Amino acid sequence: MRILPLVAAALVLAVVKPAAAQRGCSVPPRQYFAIGTGALEVEPGQVQPLSAGISPGPGTLLALPRGCAVRWSLVGPARARIDARGRLSVAPNAAIGTAFRVRAVMGRDTAIQEVSVVDPRLRPLAGTWRQSAVKCRPDAGALEPVRELTLHRNGRYEVTFVPFEVYHDYWGHYTWDMASGAITMVVERGNQVPDGLDLRGTLRLANGRLTLDGMWLGQPAESQPHACTYTFTR
């Protein structure tokens, strides 16, 4: 069974302006009305409560002050519905790879978040993995480990050797054949893309470990490519 790359969530969070005053609703200065803290991925048939709040900056969402009322809606057509409490229900026949947007309105402020419909079969891969071991042919000597290999259920990935805030060395999309384990990672962009990458190989999951075999994920500094077996844990 072949899993194709899915549509990535492009618009995660949109803040229009500092929150407008409502009766009984007071928002601190230099904070903003927002939905969630990151990309939202849902599966067909999933019910997902959404949260709106006050954000002092990216990645942080604080509870709304008492007296703040939020109106929820969908932006455009979607195989989903959302109720007055922000409870998002995705239709069982929602197509994997599609995207739609949800809107939260508080007074004169609007926040919009894009939602991606993802494949539940990628759920075991999803998350951030950290390299715990590597063996290369021929022996590559001491290597800088991949400290973060992040795989998303929407078919996106990021590779990071030295994490710092939102920095990644390179990123793109991947396809994975569940039956054979074959994986192909395609680089789209990067801050520092190593030369000689070999991103076609085999991915296996067993006993809480993710293994990539026959691949070369590169190095931050110049180095010769090798055929390696990488072991990752969460």
Give the per-residue pLDDT at 23. 62
List the CATH code of the domain at 121-233: 2.40.128
Residue with the bigger pLDDT between 185 and 60: it is 185
Six-digit token pair at 33?
């009305």
Q: Which class is domain 2-118? A: mainly beta
Half-sphere exposure of 136 (CA within 13 A, CB side): 17
pLDDT at 59: 80
- The token pair that represents 221 in the structure block: 């500094």
Position 12 confidence tier, pLDDT thresholds 50, 70, 90: very low
Residue pointed to by tokens 């739609």:
100
pLDDT digits (tens, 9 = 90+) for 142-169: 999 999 999 998 889 999 999 998 899 9
Whether 15 has a pLDDT exceeding 70, the answer reads: no
Quick one: 164 exposed, middle or buried, by C-beta within 10 A (0-12, 13-18, 19+)?
exposed
pTM for the structure as a whole: 0.73
143-147 long-range contacts, CB within 8 A, separation 24+: 143/219, 143/223, 144/219, 144/220, 144/221, 146/217, 146/230, 146/232
Residue 49's pLDDT is: 96
Residue tagged 């994997």 (tokens):
96
Angle at 15 between CA 9 and CA 18, to 5 degrees: 165
SS3 call for 214: strand
Question: What is the rounded distance in angstroms from the CA atom of residue 205 to the CA atom of residue 76?
Answer: 39
Residue 18 pLDDT > 50, yes or no?
no
Contact 88, 42 (CB under 8 A): yes
Calculate mean pLDDT across residues 223-227.
Answer: 94
pLDDT of residue 11 exceeding 60: no
CB contact at 8 A, 53 and 60: no
| φ, ψ of residue 9 in degrees (nearest 5) | -75, 115
Domain ranges (residues) in the chain: 2-118, 121-233
pLDDT(219) > 70: yes
Closest by Cα among 121, 136, 166 to 148: 166
Mean pLDDT check: name the lowest of 12-26, 50-64, 205-219.
12-26
pLDDT of residue 143: 95
pLDDT tens digits, 74-132: 999 999 999 999 999 999 999 988 999 999 999 888 999 999 999 998 999 999 999 99
CA distance 210 to 79: 34
